[in-house]
Structure formats: C-alpha cells, structure tokens
C-alpha cells in the first residue's frame, strides 16, 4: 500500500439490541455515507472507527484493514511499533446499556489471561463520552447523604441492601456493604422489593428512571435500583463526561460521541442479558462519591476536551495543522477540507478519515467535524 496523506475509511456498525431502529438515526445517516450499512429491521448501536481487532476499519478503495496497514508501515502510520492507541465511536442508544465499569491496565491483563472470551484484550479503557443529542446517563456513586435519604423514603430498598446490618457503618464501608448486598441479592428478594418500591415511588427523576428500568428489564434484576445509588445526569450537546477505570456507569440513552483507549473490556453487573461478573465489579470499584464533573470544550481557536490520559484526545476542527500524531476525523455535518503539499480533498458529512503520524495535513472544517488523535506524550 502506498503512503498517502489521508485514508478514507469504511467502518463497522455494531447491531446491539439497545441500539436505535429509527429511520433517522445518526448511525443510519453515517452508514448511508459509505460505512457498514445495516438492514432496516436491524438496530444500529455503534460505529467503530479504529484498528481494534474485533472490528477494524477498512481503507477505501483498497479494502485493506487499517490494522493491517498500520502493521505494514508502523513508523509512517502511527510513529510506533505498537498499536493505534485509541478507538473512536458514535453511539445511538434507545435503551439503557448495562451497569458496568472498565478495568485498569493491571486488572485488564489478569482478566484477559483468565477469560479471553469475555475480556478480549489486555488494555485499560478510560473513555470520554460527548453528548450529540438527548444523552442521559448514570455515572459514579452519589453523595452518601442522597443514598441514605432514598433509604429513609424507600424502607424496602434499605432492607434489601442489608437493613440493620448497615447500622453503625459509615463512609465507604457503608456504601460497599449496601451495594454488594444489593447486587448479590436473590432474584426473588429483588422482585419482592421492586413491588414495594413501585408502590412507594413518587414522581422524582430517580423514581421515573427506576420505573422505566423495571419495565424494560423486569423486577428480578438488581440493576433496576441503580438510580438510587448512581448520579443521574442529563447532558446538553457538546458536554462530555470522562470515565476513568473502575467507575460504575450506564448510558441510558441518546446520541453520543465516544473516544477511548483501544479496548473492548467491559465488566458488567446488571441490565443486560450478556455475561455479568458481579464479584469482579464489586471488587474493582473505587467507591468514590459525589457529583460527577462535566467536561467542556476549551475556549480557543480549535477547542479540545481536557482529560487526564494520553491514549487519546478529542478536538473540534475549525483550522488544524497535523501535529505528527495519528488521528481519525469524523464529519458529522458540513464538509471537511484537507490539504498537504501535493493534494487537496473535500469530504462530506459521514466521512471518516485516518491521518497518519507521518503526514503533514491542514484540516478546515465547515459544519461539525471532530478529530480523535493519540494524546501528546503517549507511549505504547
């Protein structure tokens, strides 16, 4: 394959059950622009842009996988002998995703060695999720005072979470005990409690979220009580949340732009028919409490989201010069104009392009284009 300043990509659409079947889904619009287009009766959940072995993007027109192209010429493509450090996604969730967390590097290596079928790689998976439209999520544990206030109002929930065995416990010890008792409760106990909580529920956002989860997943899944433990967040377009390792979360719905380290490791414990690993989840969580911070674009000519990892960085494209870091540009609306010393290109909405580390490319966005790149200082 010859060296080019940019490579147009054809990317995989994942068809998970929680995805959207709407005819105007953002993913259907993207797929129609030259990606992996699903049938009309299939849900569309995620568009994967990157080189992860589970679903590497393909270079057009060669139909060579980006992963193979990187391995063929690693110095030009990523200026490294390792792997592309990030995975870039668009999500459209019409139903909640599982209660989950992502492991740090040490735990990822252990889980992959022990159970590669369920933990397909040995990498960590910090991630940044940015709202495109209607994003709702459960993220991180609430203040203990909020959890205890729910227990006071919903006596049956406190009993399910340990009742009198919680007396005298405080702080992290209280939270660990209550959450472990909830997530390990027998299905019959959960169902009995769900009926009592439903009868006592009011009209708060947490109560409405509980009722929706119970309607979708039934009364026997302990994950339906997550709104009483985790922060319920509604994000405006452009707002983001950063999730480090070992932080519990569930995306409840919406159209989302997501950047992460190149990994597909997910430790699940509810709200899903997929493999759940409750013991691992309970042992790995940080049990930090309090409101989860919203991440905003910086105020500069080419704004970016400040995050505490170097695996990836995300910026909004107006006028950007390539910085010798590999990246993927996604045109959500309008056009993206690319220029190097020898050629120019104009790419419409829906286009995804890989910019090699060895290329010197100027990017000009008209509309909405995002660029996910390896973070400065990253070492594979």
Q: Strands 64-65 and 127-141: what pairing?
A: unpaired
Nearest to 9 by CA among 45, 46, 62: 62
C-beta of residue 315 within 8 angstroms of C-beta of residue 374? no
Contacts of 301 (CB under 8 A, 6+ apart): 318, 319
364 tagged catalytic: no
Determine the Cα–Cα distance for residues 283 and 287; give it in Å rounded to an integer.
10
Q: What radius of gyration do the chain's Cα atoms show?
A: 22
Selected catalytic residue, list 67, 142, 158, 268:
268
Helices (H), the chain: 26-32, 66-72, 74-77, 105-114, 144-153, 155-160, 171-183, 187-200, 205-217, 278-284
C-beta of residue 265 within 8 angstroms of C-beta of residue 119? yes
C-beta of residue 272 within 8 angstroms of C-beta of residue 164? no
Contacts of 288 (CB under 8 A, 6+ apart): 140, 141, 247
Nearest to 312 by CA among 3, 117, 52: 52
Strand partners for 233: 137
Strand partners for 12: 48
3-class DSSP assignment, residue 303: coil
Find the Cα–Cα–Cα–Cα dihedral 182, 187, 193, 195, rounded to 10°. Answer: 140
3-class DSSP assignment, residue 328: strand
**Strand extents, DSSP E, the chain:** 7-10, 12-14, 46-49, 58-60, 64-65, 86-93, 100-101, 127-141, 230-235, 240-243, 249-261, 267-268, 313-316, 319-321, 327-339, 344-348, 352-355, 362-373
Determine the Cα–Cα distance for residues 78 and 212; give it in Å rounded to an integer.
44
Catalytic machinery residues? 268
């Amino acid at each position: 394959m010859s060296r080019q300043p940019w490579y147009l990509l054809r990317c995989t659409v994942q068809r998970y059950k929680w995805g959207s079947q709407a005819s105007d889904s953002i993913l259907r619009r993207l797929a129609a622009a030259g990606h992996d287009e699903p049938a009309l009766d299939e849900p569309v959940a995620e568009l994967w842009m990157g080189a992860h072995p589970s679903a590497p993007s393909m270079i057009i027109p060669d139909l060579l996988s980006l992963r193979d192209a990187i391995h063929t010429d690693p110095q030009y493509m990523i200026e490294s002998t390792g792997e592309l450090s990030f995975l870039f996604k668009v999500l459209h969730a019409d139903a909640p995703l599982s209660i989950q967390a992502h492991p740090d590097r040490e735990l990822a290596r252990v889980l992959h060695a022990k159970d590669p079928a369920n933990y397909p790689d040995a990498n960590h998976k910090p991630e940044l999720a940015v709202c495109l439209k209607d994003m709702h999520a459960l993220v991180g544990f609430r203040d203990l005072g909020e959890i205890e206030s729910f227990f006071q109002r919903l006596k049956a929930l406190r009993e399910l979470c340990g009742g009198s065995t919680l007396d005298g416990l405080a702080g992290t010890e209280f939270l660990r005990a209550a959450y472990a008792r909830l997530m390990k409760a027998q299905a019959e106990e959960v169902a009995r409690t769900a009926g009592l909580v439903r009868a006592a529920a009011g009209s708060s956002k947490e109560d409405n979220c509980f009722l929706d989860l119970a309607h979708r997943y039934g009364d026997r899944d302990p994950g339906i009580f997550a709104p009483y433990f985790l922060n319920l967040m509604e994000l405006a377009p452009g707002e983001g949340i950063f999730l480090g390792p070992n932080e519990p979360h569930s995306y409840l719905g919406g159209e989302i732009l997501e950047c992460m380290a190149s990994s597909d490791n997910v430790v699940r414990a509810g709200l899903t028919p997929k493999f759940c690993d409750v013991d691992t989840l309970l042992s790995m969580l940080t049990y930090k409490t309090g409101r989860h911070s919203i991440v905003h674009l910086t105020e500069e000519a080419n704004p970016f989201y400040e995050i505490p990892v170097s695996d990836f960085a995300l910026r909004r494209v107006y006028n950007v010069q390539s910085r010798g870091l590999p990246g993927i540009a996604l045109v959500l609306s309008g056009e993206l104009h690319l220029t190097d010393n020898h050629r120019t290109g104009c790419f419409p909405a829906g286009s995804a392009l890989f910019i090699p580390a060895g290329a010197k490319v100027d990017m000009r966005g008209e509309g909405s284009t995002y660029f996910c790149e390896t973070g400065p200082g990253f070492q594979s």
